[in-house]
């Protein structure tokens, strides 16, 4: 296949040598643990983090005109993206025995608040049209990488905000019997998510939604011959939230729900050379 004049464009970097990306990540984690008795212990975890991203660059349409050997659009752009998240989780863990059987019971509650803001700017139309042709319609084989004062890049072209609140309650139980040859597990989780997506520059891309789910999981593992051969079976449900707005009804689209059974055998043989 012959791409002719387009083939040399494969090595062209439309952003140029003056692109500047700044990323920052600030994170704080605090955890408190306390043992109430020989069987019961508790833990409280707190997390706060912030991700900040800025990008100064030139964008191109990459639509090449062979007659002029230029791209038909090339202009500076500026983007910021900030994510602020706060989370808290409290766990209560119990470990105890009844005869030869061991038990573990976990009760947990968690809450997360996530705020996301993405903004993008370009040059005002008149300022962009006044750029020299060597910059605005760049020659990819002899590019003009003249820098620009990014204070002039002040026409906001995109603005998206997203607020998410997650709440969850979890109960999980495990059983170990017959010298840990049999392991049983069961779990129950309630989740509730509220989301709000806004685009102040758009009349349609706005939406709110709130959903909840009660999911569960059950399973058994049995060591037939230690780690050499193990039989297992489990069944679980899932709840995957969405932040995409259905503009027909101005609501965040429904979450994806799933269920999954699984069963079989697994093991390690020949001194763990075969699995």
Which residues, 6 or more positions from 156, have their beta carbon under 8 angstroms from its beta carbon? Answer: 119, 120, 121, 201
Residue 216 CB coordination number (10 Å): 13
Q: Is 209 left (phi over 0), alpha (psi -120 to 50) or beta?
A: beta
Among 4-18, 50-64, 201-215, 219-233, the range with the most confident prediction by mean pLDDT is 219-233
The whole-model pTM stands at 0.78
CA distance 178 to 68: 80
Question: Tell me: the pLDDT tens digits for 111-167?
Answer: 999 999 999 999 999 999 999 988 888 888 888 888 889 999 999 999 999 999 999
Question: What distance in Å separates the CA atoms of residue 82 and residue 140, rounded to the nearest whole number?
Answer: 33
**pLDDT band per the 50, 70, 90 thresholds, residue 205:** confident
Half-sphere CA count of 129, side-chain side, radius 13 A: 3
- CA 275 from chain centre, in angstroms, equals 32
- Residue 160 has what pLDDT? 92
Phi, psi values for residue 21, rounded to 5°: -120, 130
Distance from C-alpha of 119 to C-alpha of 78, rounded to nearest angstrom = 8
Mean of pLDDT values over 233-261 = 85
End-to-end CA distance of the chain: 45
Stronger pLDDT, 183 or 66, i.e. the higher one: 183
Q: 258-267, pLDDT tens digit by residue?
A: 999 999 999 8
The answer to whether 214 and 190 are in contact (CB under 8 A) is yes
Q: Which of 38, 160, 166 is nearest to 96 (CA)?
A: 38
- Kindly tell me if the per-residue pLDDT of 1 is higher than 50: no
- Measured from the Cβ of residue 209, the count of other Cβ atoms closer than 10 Å reads 22
Q: Using an 8 Å Cβ cutoff, are 176 and 185 in contact?
A: no
pLDDT in tens, 63-118: 778 788 888 888 899 999 999 999 999 999 999 999 889 999 999 999 999 999 99
Are 113 and 85 in contact by the 8 Å Cβ rule? The answer is yes
Question: Per-residue pLDDT for 5 more than 60?
Answer: no
Q: Write the secondary structure of 98-124 as one string of H (helix), E (strand) and C (coil).
A: ECCEEEEEEEEEEEEEEEEEEEEEECC
- Cα(70)–Cα(212) distance, integer angstroms: 53
Is the separation of the CB atoms in 87 and 110 below 8 Å?
A: yes
Rounded to 5 degrees, φ, ψ at 41 are -140, 155
Please give the share of the chain, as a percent, with pLDDT higher than 70.
96
């Amino acid at each position: 296949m012959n791409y002719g004049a387009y083939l040399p464009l494969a090595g062209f970097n439309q952003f140029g040598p003056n692109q500047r990306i700044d990323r920052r990540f600030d994170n704080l984690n605090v955890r408190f643990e306390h043992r109430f008795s020989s069987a019961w212990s508790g833990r409280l975890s707190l997390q706060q983090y912030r991700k900040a991203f800025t990008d100064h660059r030139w964008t191109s349409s990459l639509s090449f005109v062979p007659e002029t050997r230029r791209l038909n659009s090339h202009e500076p752009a500026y983007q910021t993206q900030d994510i602020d998240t706060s989370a808290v989780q409290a766990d209560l863990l119990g470990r105890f025995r009844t005869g030869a059987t061991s038990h573990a019971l976990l009760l947990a509650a968690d809450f997360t608040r996530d705020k996301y803001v993405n903004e993008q700017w370009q040059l005002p139309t008149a300022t962009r049209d006044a750029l020299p042709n060597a910059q605005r319609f760049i020659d990819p084989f002899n590019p003009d990488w003249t820098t620009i004062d990014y204070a002039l890049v002040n026409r906001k072209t995109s603005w998206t905000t997203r607020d998410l609140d997650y709440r969850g309650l979890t109960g999980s139980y495990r059983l170990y019997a017959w010298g840990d040859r049999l392991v049983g597990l069961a779990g129950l989780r309630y989740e509730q998510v509220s989301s709000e997506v806004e685009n102040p520059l758009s009349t349609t891309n706005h939406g709110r939604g709130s959903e909840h789910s009660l999911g569960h999981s059950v399973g058994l593992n049995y060591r037939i011959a230690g780690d050499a051969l193990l039989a297992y079976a489990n069944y679980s449900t899932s709840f995957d939230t969405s932040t995409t707005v259905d503009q027909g009804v101005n609501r965040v689209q429904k979450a994806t729900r799933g269920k999954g059974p699984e069963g079989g055998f697994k093991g390690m043989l020949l001194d763990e050379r075969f699995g």
